[in-house]
Structure 1
Amino acid sequence: MTDRKCELATNLAKVEERISKACAAVGRARSEVTLVVVTKTYPASDVRLLAELGVRHVAENRDQDAAPKAAESADLPLTWHFVGQLQTNKVRSVVGYADFVHSVDRPRLVTSLSMAAVRAERETGCLIQVALDAEDGGRGARGGVAPDGVEELAGLLAEAPGLRPAGLMTVAPLTGPYAGRQQAAFERLVELASDLRAAHPAANMVSAGMSADLEQAVAAGATHVRVGTAVLGLRPGLG
């Protein structure tokens, strides 16, 4: 085993242990939580090693990094997630490889995604990004739609050809009533997700938590945690 594969295996084992302990602490089965490894800035060779180590869900937040990496990894049994802010001019490319887009936050993006998905003859699962620091229909500092905008976007997704509402996503807010209260923020997201499922039963994904706060996300009820640094190490240039 190469040094890099050993490093990734060690890191993955630590993250798996953290998720397992967090599940056990609140009486959840480990199978209820999907680990999505965010591979941004890291090469396709790392994606291949992760697949060899059993990872099945990977994510990117920039299309210019993701598109070539996904193409190089097309032979691997992977589900690709796009988790970054998405501009409409990147939609056609993203729909070509992403099974799920976690950052749907405006009607125009729904329209663009639908057109691209139909053209590509693909069905794309779409998660609505919720900005818990936004009020009265505004947008959050880290992207997303205010909680009172979820219902409208979900309705648009449900009616859009080539798309399906898959759930909700959030990033722990740095400002507003949930600043520094990650678990409370994630619990609010889970409440919103429960409301969403009442109208759209198949929209059962709750994407929350990253390397620093995955335990709080699991405790709150997240179904998917997005972990980068804890698996891959500090990104190049950051240490």
Structure 2
Amino acid sequence: MLYRSGSRFRLPSGPTDAVARCARATPRRPSGRRGVPYARHPPLPTETMATQATYHAALEANLPHVRERIAAAAERSGRDPGTVRVVAVTKGHAPGAIEAALAVGLCDIGENRVEELQRKVPLFQAGTVTWHAIGHIQRRKAAGAARLAALIHSVDSVRLAEKLSRLGEAQARRVPVLVQVNASGEAAKGGLPAALDPEVALDGIARIAALPGLRVEGLMTMAPFVADQATLRATFARTRAALEAASSIDGFAGRELSMGMSNDYEIAVEEGSTMVRLGTTLFGPRPG
């Protein structure tokens, strides 16, 4: 899980601590007792008791298998499974999905759209959820992402980075970000061109790392949605190589690799991922 310690992220001491923290933080309805956290929203029209029970049942069934597969993949590559964090992606899901995630120890919640962050973040007591912005961010929506997310995964251009840096400077802080790289070479994918022109990508990473209002924690990539294992593995390996190359850049101390989704997270972990972004494999298909 991703925890804040001062101005830096730190790993929890173990999964037991993470589960206990999230269990304590699980939002509840107002109880009248001082200090008890709760979700400050009435039940939404689409969020029935049956819907919430479905989320809980899905996580209870799916999360153990996900943990086992992450552990096996980490061990195959000689890594500690505890270095891999699950970001539960709740795009399109009701707030009950987040409550269910907290109840099983998943504190890291990812949203693709700034609008969903704006809708969901106020529903939970501050400090109960670590929010991740993982989708494409338009520069005009950068302020919302910087304000609401503990980590922005998808800084895909120097121009967006410059906008976020100005926002950070105005608030006398450094916005935590990951630089998105295009490690597959697909024209439809965003990010710095780690596959087609690694030197240009490295130059972009250096320019972003030098911005005073940002703290670059590492890199993010998206693999092809339909590809064989060799293509997926090559994509993730290029991202890891880009991170290793970036380690020589002044001001770049990031070691995070956000890569791997529901269809490819095991390969991503084998290739060095420290954060996997999982939605369908945890919660099932999105409603509607």
| Residue correspondence of structure 1 range 68-83 to structure 2 within 5 A | 68-83=119-134
Partner of 2:238: 188
Tell me which of 68, 78, 103 is aligned to 1:52: 103
Partner of 2:154: 103
**Superposition misfits of 4+ residues, deviation over 4 angstroms:** none
Tell me which of 30, 42, 61 is aligned to 2:112: 61
Q: CA 1:158–1:213 in 2, change beyond 3 Å: closer, same or farther?
A: same
Q: Would the aligned equivalents of 1:39 and 1:47 in 2 still touch at CA under 8 Å?
A: yes
Question: TM-score, normalised on structure 2?
Answer: 0.74
Alpha-carbon shift at residue 74 of structure 1 (Å): 3.7
The 1-side partners of 2:224 and 2:74 are apart by: 23
The 2-side partners of 1:3 and 1:213 are apart by: 25
Q: Would the aligned equivalents of 1:56 and 1:79 in 2 still touch at CA under 8 Å?
A: yes
Out of 66-75 and 182-191, give the one that drifted further: 66-75
Alpha-carbon shift at residue 120 of structure 1 (Å): 4.2
Tell me which of 209, 212, 223 is aligned to 2:263: 212
Q: CA 1:29–1:59 in 2, change beyond 3 Å: closer, same or farther?
A: same
Alpha-carbon shift at residue 76 of structure 1 (Å): 4.5
Q: How many aligned positions are there?
A: 232
Q: Secondary structure at the match of 2:146?
A: helix
Partner of 1:140: 187
| Residue correspondence of structure 1 range 6-17 to structure 2 within 5 A | 6-17=57-68
Q: CA 1:196–1:145 in 2, change beyond 3 Å: closer, same or farther?
A: same
Partner of 1:118: 169
Q: Secondary structure at the match of 1:71?
A: helix
Alpha-carbon shift at residue 179 of structure 1 (Å): 8.9
The 1-side partners of 2:107 and 2:256 are apart by: 16
Alpha-carbon shift at residue 197 of structure 1 (Å): 1.7
Partner of 2:4: none
Alpha-carbon shift at residue 28 of structure 1 (Å): 1.2
Alpha-carbon shift at residue 171 of structure 1 (Å): 0.7
Unaligned 5+ segments in structure 1 are: none
Alpha-carbon shift at residue 133 of structure 1 (Å): 3.6
Tell me which of 198, 201, 205 is aligned to 1:150: 201
Question: TM-score, normalised on structure 1?
Answer: 0.88
Q: Would the aligned equivalents of 1:173 and 1:179 in 2 still touch at CA under 8 Å?
A: no
Larger radius of gyration: 2
CA RMSD of aligned residues (A): 2.3
Q: Secondary structure at the match of 1:40?
A: coil
Alpha-carbon shift at residue 121 of structure 1 (Å): 4.5
Partner of 2:40: none
Q: Would the aligned equivalents of 2:58 and 2:284 in 1 still touch at CA under 8 Å?
A: no
Out of 43-52 and 150-159, give the one that drifted further: 150-159
| Residue correspondence of structure 1 range 226-237 to structure 2 within 5 A | 226-237=277-288
Partner of 1:91: 142
Partner of 2:23: none
Q: CA 1:30–1:62 in 2, change beyond 3 Å: closer, same or farther?
A: same
Q: Secondary structure at the match of 2:257?
A: strand
Tell me which of 240, 243, 248 is aligned to 1:198: 248
Partner of 2:81: 30
Q: Would the aligned equivalents of 1:128 and 1:153 in 2 still touch at CA under 8 Å?
A: no
The alignment status of 1:41 with 2:101, answered yes or no, reads no
The 1-side partners of 2:84 and 2:162 are apart by: 30
Q: Secondary structure at the match of 2:247?
A: helix
The 2-side partners of 1:234 and 1:91 are apart by: 28
Unaligned 5+ segments in structure 2 are: 1-51
Q: Would the aligned equivalents of 2:168 and 2:174 in 1 still touch at CA under 8 Å?
A: yes
Q: Would the aligned equivalents of 1:174 and 1:180 in 2 still touch at CA under 8 Å?
A: no
Q: CA 1:114–1:28 in 2, change beyond 3 Å: closer, same or farther?
A: same
Alpha-carbon shift at residue 150 of structure 1 (Å): 2.7
